[in-house]
Every structure is written in structure tokens, then in C-alpha cells.
A and B are shown apart, each in its own frame.
Chain A
Amino acid sequence: MNIIKGEKITKSFSGLVALKNVDFELNKGEILGLIGPNGSGKTTLINVITGFYKPTSGKILYKNHDISGLSPHKISRLGIARTFQIVKPFMELTVLENVATAALFGKNIHIPKSKTRENAKSAVEAVGLYDKSSYKPGSLSIAELKKLEIAKAIALSPELLFLDESMAGLNLKETQTTMDLILKVREQRDLSIFFVEHVMKVVMGISDRVIVLHHGEKIADGKPNDIVNDENVIKAYLGKRYKRQKNA
């Protein structure tokens, strides 16, 4: 059963077509990876789904309800959360306050305030930032900021989570812990995850399925292993080097 489904999504910016008839589907509990070269429309697709842009045409169905064109705060309240590629922490608040603010909103908007505090703490714990609860984001590393971004997203109690390049700028070890973290939160919180990523190790490591965008069009959709052997994908994105590396 799908949790979200996009039908023929097109987005153009005064003549420049950023997305062209993109279809996609994400099943409940699935981790779907989205890859493609820079400028292929990955972040635009997330922005369209989460309401930051209105699609020029096409439909987005979340649990069979049409959400295309709704404003971001309404979409968020339905149980869709996202992280931003360029992290957006609240600089003047501590880590815990950042997450506690998130815990008041999203799907929790109608829960009494006193009951949201626990949720905030458990989200901070889940990403492993508990020791830094009272730090301000200014003193965190990039890896920790990305974790904070994830903590804020899961504190909203979403059912569907979009991760926009949560691994960019992380070293190998940090990448590994973040991958483990994503798998862990999916288990614990019964999440469906849609993530954009450039690091192929991550894409191969955690996706159940992968879709590939190129010049705003979907050129492939399938199991990670099939994707990396797809001639079109190799030509458009992975390059011959990747194929050689794999064969070596």
C-alpha cells in the first residue's frame, strides 16, 4: 500500500522546466532513495511535495488525499516532515529547545503542551545528541547539526520523512552512524522515508528502492542493484568510473 504517490508532476519556473511528468510512489515503511546529477530537480521535487512550491500540473496523493498545492504548515500537520539540505537550526535556542519547539507542532499540534516534552527528549536521545541538549547550534559540528535537523523532523511525529542530503559533508564514520540512525528511527517510529543523496554507499546501503532524475525527468525506478547497472543511469549520473570500480 502506498503512503504517498505523485502523478505526472510538472514544475516550471517561467519557462524553465524543472520537473517533467514525474511519477513516483512510496510504500508504507519503505525507504526510497532519490538520486540524480546536480540540477536534475531532486530538491525541487521535495519542495513541490512539501508545499514550498505549487506544482504547475500533476497531483500528489498522500494516503489517497490530494495534497498538491497545500501550504507547508498544513502538509506538516498531516504527518509529513522534512530536513533541509542547508540545515536550518534555531541559532538562539539550545538543542533541546530546538527540538521541544518542533515537538509542539507538526502532527502534535493538538496534543497538550505538557505531553510534548517527553517526545522532544526521546527525539534528542534517538539521534544521540542527549549530551549536548543544552548547547546552542553554533557550537555543534556539521554532523551534529544534521542530526539536530533529523531530531527536529522526527519530533513532529511524522509518518513520512523527507531527508534532503543528510550525509553531505560528513566523513565516513559519521556517514555510517547516520545511516544506522535512519534505519533505527524507521524501525522505532514506523516511518516511511524518502531521501535525496549523492553518496552512493548510502544509497546502496539503506534504500529499498531508488528512483533517478535527470533533467527533471524520471529515467529509472527500481531495486538499488538494478539501478546501478542501468545503462541510462550510468550515462547520466554514475559515470563509467563507477561501473569500473564495481567490476574491479
Chain B
Amino acid sequence: MNKILKYAFLAVTAALVATVPLYSGAFITRFLIGVILYAIMAEGWNVIAGYTGYPSFGNVVFFGLGAYITALCMINFHTPFILSLVFSSIAGALFAIIIGIPILRLKGHYFAIVTLGIGETMMAITFNVPFTGTGAGLSLPLAINPNLFYYISLIVLVIFIVFLKFILSGRLGYGMIAVREDEDAAKMMGIDTVAVKIKAFAISGFFTAIAGGIYAYWSTFIDPPTVYDPVISIKMIIMTVFGGAGTLLGPVAGAFIIMFLSDFLSTHFTILHTFFFGGLIVMTAIFLPKGLMDVLSQKGIGWKYFIENIRKHRV
């Protein structure tokens, strides 16, 4: 009985998710596209940080790169949108490999600092290179059907989750988790830790760049401060950590809840909204260091769970 209920629930949710844009209206569709794009990026951050234990603070670099590649392909070569996304994703993965080879040899904190710098560097380069439109930005052709973005993003998110589930059940997934848990022990198990980290970073870059490409066509205008905005990296991190880093669906839940709260607060409590992210980070770090998914997996939750979290994770 329970199982039937579960499948029924899943089927209804799937049907709802698949048909929402047909009756929800432009505002909600727009909101949901934002949620899905952030869910893809948060999941991308989850692969390298949540599963592999390498907290990148500059994953926005893949988003920006993906946005620019799609924009440049569509403007200069009139490449079809989907093909442009393919180029973006390949560029994202290649860029992750190229920067990953030197920087993934750094330990956690140093890696985090360097990734921060890479985002800023790419922004500066884009500002100064002539063919990227410099500071004036790029305008893309207008899309005919706005629902297209909803479905493409949704398909990419679903493919990403299925792909990640597949990866996690194989040697690469176990290797990633082993690297996160103890890199020396992982090496001695015969895990090529450098290769594992580079692969994880490439997956992260691949999908984050697709999100960037979709965003570029969707918003029809991109410039360096928008698509290389470090706040985008911060949001990926908050969403993943809030939802549950190192869980398959945590980042998706995190993206939805945080986008919803953020939207709600920014329309109803304009000033309070500015405190929101700061407060949320602090509260999450103290009370929910393992995120929402861990809360849901507990049987019978009470104040003890939160107290235990404080005790376990203090210095």
C-alpha cells in the first residue's frame, strides 16, 4: 500500500512538473526556470564539493563561460540553440580539466581561494577581449517560445540527476566519496585521486556551463558582471548546503526553497531580505550542517537533533 502511494505521489508530481507552464502563467514559469537553472548549478557544485570534498567558490566561472560560448555561437555563427549548448558544455568540461590539473592538487582551503580568483580573472578577461563585446555585453536573438526554456532546463536537470546516480553507483562515485573522506587513505586504496577529482570537476563544469548557455538565450542579454557575479557561486553553495551537500536531491530541494523564500521576502520585506542570506547561512551552519535531507532521513525529529548537531560540529 505504502509503495503504491509512493508511486502515485511520484507520478502526480511528475505530471505536475511536466505540465506547469501550460497553465501557470508567465510569472510562475519564469520563477521555475530560475529554480531549475539554479538546481542544475547547485547539483554541479554538489559533485565537486558535496561528494568530492573540494569546495569551489568560483563555479560561476563555468556558468559565465557557458553563457558566453552559447551567445557567441548563436550571434556569430547562427548555430542552433541546442548545438550551442553542446559547445558550451564541452567548453565547460574542458575548462574544468585545464584549470583542474594544477589547482586540484591544492588542499581544500587553498583550492577554495584559488577558485575565487579564477572567477574574477575570467570576468576581467571578458571585459577586455574584443570579440566578447567587452563591458557592453552581448545581445542574443529573441526566442519565440518562453516555455522552451522550462522544458530544456528540466530535461537537463533530469539527465544530470540520472547521470549522477549512475556515477555514484560505480567506481568513480565511490572514489569521489573516498577522496572527500580521506585522501591519503583513498590513494593507498589504489584510487587515482587526481584523476577522480578532475573527472568530478569536469562533470561539474559540464552541467554548470549548460545552465549558463540556457540563461544566455533566455535572458537575451549578457555582460560580464551579470554572468560572472560571485553571488551566483555563493547561491549555489547556500542551496546545496541548505538542501544537503553530498545527497542526490538535496541541491534541488535547496534551490527551490531558497529561491522561493528569496522571492517572497524580496517582494514583501524589502529591507529584511538583505539580512536573509546572511542569517540563513549562519543558522544552517549551526543547526543543519548536513542540510535538509539529513533532517528528513531522521526518524522522529526533535530539539535533540539540533542540539546534537551543535555539539558534534563545534571545535
Contacts and interface: CB of A to CB of B under 8 A. Distances in A.
Classify chain A: how many residues form its interface, as a range.
20 to 34
A87 B231 CA distance: 39
B174 interface: yes
A102 B189 contact: yes
A104 B185 contact: no
Contact of B181 (A81, A91, A113): A91
Classify chain B: how many residues form its interface, as a range.
20 to 34
Interface stretch (B59-67, B83-91, B190-198, B266-274): B190-198
A207 B184 CA distance: 28
Contacts of B185: 84, 88-90, 152
Interface in B158-183: 169-171, 174-175, 177-178, 180-182
A88 B177 contact: no
B184 A101 contact: no
Contacts of A91: 181
Interface class of chain B by DSSP: helix
Given A101-B177, A104-B174, A113-B170, A156 B189 contact: yes
Interface string A63-86: 000000001111011000110100
Nearest to B178: A101
Contact of A73 (B171, B177, B181, B192): B192
Contact of B188 (A82, A93, A101): A82
B43 to A, nearest CB: 19
Nearest to B189: A105
B181 A106 contact: no
Contacts of A74: 190
A107 to B, nearest CB: 7
A92 B190 contact: no
A109 interface: yes
Given A101-B174, A113-B171, A73 B187 contact: yes
A8 B110 CA distance: 37
Contact of A84 (B171, B180, B184, B190): B184
Contacts of B187: 51-52, 71-73, 76
A52 B181 CA distance: 18
A61 to B, nearest CB: 20
A119 interface: no
Contacts of B175: 105
A101 B170 contact: no
Given A105-B171, A113-B170, A73 B184 contact: no
B246 interface: yes
A202 B243 CA distance: 49
Contact of B190 (A73, A88, A89): A73
B182 A101 contact: no
A90 B188 CA distance: 13
A40 interface: no
A50 interface: yes
Contact of A152 (B169, B177, B189): B189
A90 B191 contact: no
A90 B190 contact: no
B18 to A, nearest CB: 33
Interface in A19-58: 50-52
A90 B170 contact: no
Given A72-B188, A82-B188, A104 B177 contact: no
Contact of B246 (A52, A84, A92): A92
Given A82-B188, A104-B174, A73 B193 contact: yes
A212 B187 CA distance: 28
Contacts of B246: 92
Contacts of A71: 187, 192
A76 B188 CA distance: 6
Interface in B131-162: none
Contacts of A156: 189-190
A52 B188 CA distance: 9
A77 B174 CA distance: 16
A162 to B, nearest CB: 9
B254 to A, nearest CB: 19
Contacts of A88: 182, 184-185
Contacts of A89: 181-182, 185
A107 B188 CA distance: 11
17 contacts: A73-B188, A73-B191, A76-B188, A76-B189, A82-B188, A88-B184, A88-B185, A89-B181, A89-B185, A93-B177, A101-B178, A106-B189, A106-B190, A109-B171, A109-B190, A113-B170, A152-B185
Interface of A: 50-52, 71-74, 76-77, 81-82, 84, 88-93, 100-102, 104-107, 109, 113, 152, 156
Interface of B: 169-171, 174-175, 177-178, 180-182, 184-185, 187-193, 246
Given A52-B184, A76-B189, A90-B185, 18 more contacts: A51-B187, A71-B187, A72-B188, A73-B190, A81-B188, A82-B188, A84-B184, A84-B185, A84-B188, A88-B185, A89-B185, A92-B246, A93-B181, A101-B178, A105-B174, A106-B189, A113-B171, A156-B190
